[in-house]
Chains A and B, each alone.
Chain A
Amino acid sequence: MLSVMEIYQLTPKTNCKKCGLPTCMAFAVALLGKEKKVVDCPPLMEEAKYQAKREKLIEAMAPIEGASETGLIIHEEKCYGCGNCVVACPVNVANDPKGTALGFGPTNDKAILVVEDGVVKCLNVEECRRFGPNKILCNACTATCPSKAIEFV
């Protein structure tokens, strides 16, 4: 997974403050947190000497663009559909004590993670512990994945 340092290496590293943030490092953190976009950095977009960096950064950011509000990325091609994440998710268990808590598929529509067509899907993202500003860095779904098909940005 992409780290802040890797993103920072692809910024102009001039701390020009044109993006509204004090440093390029802060801009890299904001990029990873999906608070800013690559186009918010004027030098990177306009100056020709940063063309190579710009292309690399846009390419590196592509998977993060597809992440949900909580930063969850699902690699569908790796998923086994085993449902470990569905059953391990503490929110799923609390909302569905007769379904996912006992290892079955979800019995109501409050579940965050469900397995559909053999692949895990993310619904009700606002229920996730990682949603919003006061997030808890829960990793029940990534730690129980046998194929590393789920990641958080």
Chain B
Amino acid sequence: MLLNVENLSFFYESEKIIFNNANFSLDSGQILSIIGPNGAGKSTFLNCIVNLLQPKSGKITIEEKNISQMNAIDISKYIGYVPQIHIPTYGFLVKEYIAMGRAPKIGLFSKPSKEDYFFVEKAMEKMEISHLANKPYTEISGGERQKATIAKVLVQEPKLIILDEPTAYLDYGHQYKAIKLIKTLAEEGYAIIMTTHQPEHAILLENYTAIIDGQGEFAFGKTSTIISESLLSDLYKINIKMPFIDSLQKTIVCPID
């Protein structure tokens, strides 16, 4: 098992429990989508997984190693993190930006070598952004920025990729493309954890879904069994139907009055 989470709990003050007794494991090639309302603690959960926050109890292991005993460099060799798209202060060229993903493999006093840039070129080809190599990262579109950020994680060569709301700030078409891309990455053997505000995305990705409901409950299960009309209606406090459309052979999520 690549990632193992046992009895994980986190709370800021003892009254407000973010999640309690979270248990799950994830293997290479598997996808975990995390859904939950605003402020429920999805980001807090991700922060615990990458050891930026200390959980109040429980244990996280990656390849049998306890993550709380690993330093930043060790963790960065296993976990790649795709933050929400943001525009940094300085307009590094796309290739310079992606090369920063090689940081865990580059010494304190060195800079990326030709070999590192070889990895950068391969990742840009894969993300189909080679033509943007010499453009400032600040001057490309949101969808392109996301591809560049994923390319940056790929050159890091992690086993688990964590994406914080990868579809936020993307237009409809790019959202769908991003989901397809995540599926492809899983097929190539990366384990994936992502948060999303769209239950449809969890359904499209199949595999596993975890729910953080804002009341301190953490539920994990097969996406097809865990996501239901009643669960989504409770979670988002609106009436939601999930009809199966015969002509598309797909379940859709639809809020109704």
Q: Do A and B come together as binding partners?
A: no
